[in-house]
Structure formats: C-alpha cells, structure tokens
Chain A
Amino acid sequence: MEMSGLNLSSSVLMTIGTVMVIYFVLIACFGGIFSRFSKDVNDFFFSGQRFAWWLGAASMIATGIGSYSYLKYSQQGLETGLSSAMTYTNDWFIVPFFMFGWLPIIYFARIRSIPEYFARRFNNTARYIALLIIMAYMFFYIGYNLFTIGIALEGLLGIPMLYTVPVATLILGGYVTFGGQTAVIFTDLAQGIMLYIAGGIAIGAGIVALGGFGEWWSWLPVSHRLPFVHLFNDYKFNTAGLYWGEALAGSIAFTFMNQGFIMRYLALKSVNEGRKAAVFNVLFTLPFSAIIVGAVGWIAKSLVVKQAAMGGVLEGINPIHIANHFHTFIVVAWECLHHNAIVFGFVIAALTAALMSTVDTLINACAAIGIYDIYKPLLKPKASDRHYLIAARWVSALTALIGLCLVFFFVNLKGSLMSIHYKGIMVIIPSIVTTIFLGAFWRRFNAKAACVSMVVGSVFTVLTIFWPTFIDPLAWLVLGKDMLSQKYIYMRALFGMSITAFVGITVTWLTAADPMEKSEGLTICTLGIAKQKYKGDKNVNEAVGKKVRRLVVELDENFAENIVSLSESVMSRMKANVGDIVYVEDSRWWLGGLRSVHTHAGAVHNLGDDKIVMSKSTYKNGMFLDNRLITIEKIF
C-alpha cells in the first residue's frame, strides 16, 4: 500500500500539525465543559432523555461520517462518480419500521442497550450471543476508524501509525471517559459544523479551480453523473448488491442496532422528537453528507478529464496526478487550496474530527453495553450510582485501549479500504439484524428461535467466506441472472439474513411460544402497553397541545418531588390532564434541553398564568438557573 500522498516540506507540515494540535486541544476542552452535566450513570450514557431533536440530529452528522468516509467516498467518487452517494440515499425504505416500530419500542421500554432488549424480550442466553456480535461490530468500527486515520496521517505527515494513532486515541479516550454522552453530543455538534465547513471549503476550492459549477458538471462524463452504477458487473460496488446488503442489512444495522445512534435517540426528550431527528437525518443529513464526503472525488474526475482535454495543464492549478486513489481527497484538496497550509490544516483537522466524533460515540456506546450488560448484571448488581459512573469511565478507557490494539490487526489485512470495510460488516451484521427485526415485529418469535437462529445464521455467514458458492442460488434468484462469480460482498448479508430468518421461523413454529406477558411492551403490537408502562398510568393522553413559554418558577419546599403545578389556562393550552408527563425546560431554545426535566402535571393552582410551581429537588434535577424563564409542554 502506497502511503505517501503528498511531498510536503517540513515548514508546511509544522503549520498543518500546529493547526491540528490546536483543534484537538480546543475540542478536548469543549468536551470537558459538558462533563459537569453528567450527574449520574443515566446522564453519562443517555443525557437523561432530555435533548431537542435538532441537537440529536446535528450530532448524528458527525457520528455518521467517519474518517474512512472521506477516503472511501472520495475514491469511489473518482472511480464511479455521483453514484458514490447511493449508500446515503437508499435508507428511506426501512424508515416506517424504525419510526413507528423500533424507536417507540426502545424508547418506551427504556432499553439501555440492544443486549438488554434481548434479555427482556428473550432470555440471558440471547442477550450474551447478541452482546458478542454487537461488540464485534463496535470494535470493528473503532479499530477501522483509528486505522484509516492512521493511513491518512501517515500519507500526509509521513509519521508512522504507531505514533499518531495512540495520540489520537488518548485524546478521544480522555474526553469520552470524563465527559460521557453529554460531552459526546456537544462535541459532535461542534465537529459536525466544523466538518461541513471544512468539506465545503474543499468543494468550493475545487469548483473554483474548475471554473464554476457549470464547468464541473459539463466535464463530468455521463457515467459519472448518474445516481446508480451498473446493476451487477462489479462485485465491489453494484446497484443490486447495494440494495440487499446496504439499503436493507446495512441501514437496519446502522439505525436499529448501532448503539451509538440508539443512544442519540434515547437522549432525546420524546419519541416525537426522535421521529423529527430520524426524518431529518435520512431526508437531509445523509444526502448532504454524501456530498461532503464524495464531492471531492467528483471534482477530481472533472479535473482529470478537463486537464487531459486541455493538454495536461489547467490555468492557475498544478497538474493533478492521483497515483493512489485512497489519497484522492488529500491530493485534490491540497492542490485546489493552492498549497495554503493553514486552510489545508483546518480541512485535515475536520477529517480527524470525523474520526473523533465517530469513535467517541462508539466508545461511549461500548461502555454502556459493558456496564449495563456485563458489569451490573454479572459483577456488581447492587452498587451505588456513583460506583457505576466511575466504572463507566474505566470501561470507556478500556474500550479505547482495545480499539487501539485492533489497529495492529487491521495493519496486517490486505485489500482496499472499501473491501476491508464491507467484507467485515457484511459478515457481522446479518444474523443480529434479522433477529432484532423478528423480535420486534413478530410476537410469536421466541427465545429458543432467537438463540438458534443467531448462532446458525452467524456460522453459515462465516462459512460463505470459505465456500462462496453457497450464495450462488440466492444471487441467481434476486439478480435474475446466473452470476456464479463466487465473489460476493453484499450478497453475503442477504444470504445471512435469509438463513437466520429461515431458521428463526422454523424453530418458532416447532417450539412452544413464550409467555405472552414476557413480550409486553417489547413488540410492535404491544406498543400501547409500552406507553402505559412508560407513563406509569393507563390513561395515555394523545391530544396534541401547544408549548407554553415564558413561565416563572415558584419554588415550594413542601411540594412533592416529580410534580409541577400549573394554572388552569396553561393546562388547557397544553391539553394536559393531571398526571400527564410534562417536559419542562429553560426557555432559551438554543440550549436544546441541556437544562430541563421530565415531570408530571399536578393539581392546578391559582397563582397566575405565568407561574409554574415545583419543589427544590425538581428544580435541581432540571439544572435550572435563577431568574430564567421556563417553557413547558405535555408529552402524553
């Protein structure tokens, strides 16, 4: 693998390095500010289910884009054009399952981790099988992200991965370990903005170098303008394979079982906010991110074509030669920015930010699983909350360390970045994705079936690495053509899902059903019960009311905890009844719910329409500030 993408002078390297170090330090400090908002283990992982949708959605930008995204999609953009955006624009088909199925299930059941869902829905055996698969998925992503940033830094700075990756891991481990989920969400918000700005700079510079948007489009060959690639001719990137492997298996994995994304949704104040975040993410964030990570590759193709047509040189820019396609982003950005080390350093810092924001989420997610699925149930079942918070920080540090060790495993793997990524993911996810799906949407699906299908599905999927001909019949069925290529990446996921589903359905039919009460609130057909359990009351108030703003807090020492009192008029505007769950927040919308609390509406008062009465402990739980106005809304 060629490592050296640019031949930079030591002074330029020094400038780029300085910009990056400043960036790292600023981000670590920024994350540190929010560590004080993690007052217990629930806050550490889920930020107390209190944030606004836009904060979750914005932090998902940075979570969804890894350092590998820039390298991988710029390369794909150069080779196949705008079709590199396919993986970001084919997710809508599974949105109904998520918005109305999985999201309310995990939110109302207060699921802390996917293995915990397996324990409650099935049994502990299913939990630990799921845990193994999910941890493999998470650690794969952490190691892969660290590995790709190592490649980028090695190519750019000439410093071996051995030195750069541990430093990056140390900084990441630092703010996740001490900050927790609140720090992760806020640093991701900052890094998401940074990432878009930096990507925009690189794209803008490329468009200017080409002579404008019209020039870029007109020099792009038709094959590179299209949103789809050939149906099946290239096993590494084809429309049919991407539909089955990426749009179905990959998208379900990312939205249903990626603990990092799940925790983003669980940090939001309500299911309604989760739906807003989900729609915004799939409809706007993903397509826009596809442009940010792939556009430099599309520009590179136009530049190369125009350059060849113009006799090898374009006015105002050095000739572009991309010897190693992994370095497309770095080479094109460097040339189009006219070797400006400070701006380029900022762009590279954003690339590094992409790594940090993906890995910090994954580290925090692994720690959540470590605490809720291993440490608490198996090692220390009845410790104090403070004990779990400290343990969570140790687990975060340990996770970062394991991720670092995995980098050395990736160094020894052969093949392109794209193939390493999908080859791994398409083997790990099929069985668990299918089991989650069957568990959530089919109440009859039982614990025996879940355990057997996960094991058999995983084993058969792994076997196809050695005997890919197992996949041939299925590929023939869905492609409508006898491929027999014996080289499958995405079709492996379809095979794994099919085997898992077949085994799961067969075992379910052949074995007795689990007691019905076991699955109450954990399947789509028992969502009504889930809502009642969440509220702690059989009366669920679905009427849509309005938010009431600019209320003044009146503290009452004798008032019960977890109840607020409002005037009749405020209750009427919210369409709330006594006992309904209400969400109280600082009126400054831009805090996104950082200072807020869920509580219940109590008996009405006659102190005036602008007053909200609560106890001191409720006030403290919301982390409210004196002399600040309050906004309130009914949840249900």
Chain B
Amino acid sequence: MEKTSNNKVLIPIMAILILAFIYIFPRIILNNFDAGNPWACYLYQYGFGFVTFMIGLLLIFKTGAVKLGRGRDTFWFGWLIAGFLIFAVGHIVWILLALHMPVKG
C-alpha cells in the first residue's frame, strides 16, 4: 500500500522533471554550440540517451527484474553499464580522431 502511494508521488514528479529536461536540454546545447558541431550532436544523443537508459535501469531495479547478487544478475548489470560506456567513450574518441587527424581531401 505504501509502495503504491510512493509511486503516485514519484511518477508525476519524474514525468515533470523529464518534460522539463526535454524542453531545457536542447536549448542549452543550441545556446552553446552550432547545430552542426559534432559535440552538439554527441550531447543530444547521449544526453537524451542517458535519461532513457537511466529510466530503464530505474525500472528494472524498482520492479525487481534485477537483483544484484541473484543468479547472474550482477554480471549482466555490469555489461549494461560497460556497454553504455563503450559506446559513449567510443564516440568521443571517434570525434577526436575525425577532428584532429590530418586531412588531404
């Protein structure tokens, strides 16, 4: 019962925060970068992507779909985090190589 009433407060607050983020975040990016700047695109994808990913993590923890220490859950949770970092760091390295290596063309 207590859990349900907690959710009744938590879910609307989260929804408002997410909507606020959706409104504010792209405007912050565009105030600081040109829309063609690769860092603007990176921040857009990984900013919204991070929020989506975190909602996913919150959901699987809150519902008990993941319990660290149960079966292989810890192992797979590690892979979830590692996968996100691999893509996020990989894209940073990719942008740096593209911008800073010599160009003939």
Interface residues of A (CB under 8 A from B): 82, 89-90, 92-97, 99-101, 104, 217-222, 225-233, 239-240, 243, 247-248, 272, 275, 279, 282-283, 302, 305-306, 309, 441, 477-481, 524-525, 527-528, 542-544, 636
Contacts and interface: CB of A to CB of B under 8 A. Distances in A.
A99 B103 CA distance: 42
Given A90-B49, A92-B83, A479-B26, A226 B95 contact: yes
Interface of B is mostly: helix
Given A93-B56, A222-B99, A542 B49 contact: no
A97 B71 contact: no
B21 to A, nearest CB: 11
B14 to A, nearest CB: 13
B65 A101 contact: yes
A239 B44 contact: yes
A481 B22 CA distance: 12
Contacts of B76: 99-100, 275
Contacts of B95: 226-228
Contacts of B99: 222, 226
Nearest to A232: B35
A540 to B, nearest CB: 9
A93 B64 contact: no
A90 B88 CA distance: 10
A635 B64 CA distance: 20
Interface in B55-95: 56-57, 59-60, 63-66, 70-72, 76, 79-80, 83-84, 86-87, 91, 94-95
A279 B79 contact: yes
A230 B36 contact: yes
A497 to B, nearest CB: 12
A480 B26 contact: yes
Contact of B38 (A100, A228, A309, A478): A228
A243 B101 contact: no
Contact of A542 (B42, B63, B65, B71): B71
Shortest 10 CB-CB distances between A and B: which pairs? Answer: A480-B26, A96-B56, A228-B41, A225-B98, A542-B71, A305-B105, A231-B35, A239-B41, A480-B27, A100-B60
B53 A92 contact: yes
Contacts of B87: 89, 92
B65 A309 contact: no
Given A218-B105, A227-B42, A279-B79, 6 more contacts: A82-B98, A92-B84, A95-B80, A226-B38, A302-B105, A527-B63
B56 A97 contact: yes
Nearest to A304: B105
A219 B104 contact: yes
Given A93-B56, A480-B30, A231 B105 contact: no
Contact of A544 (B60, B72, B84): B72
B37 to A, nearest CB: 8
Nearest to A301: B105
Contacts of A96: 53, 56-57, 59-60, 80
A61 to B, nearest CB: 18
Interface string B25-40: 1110110000110101
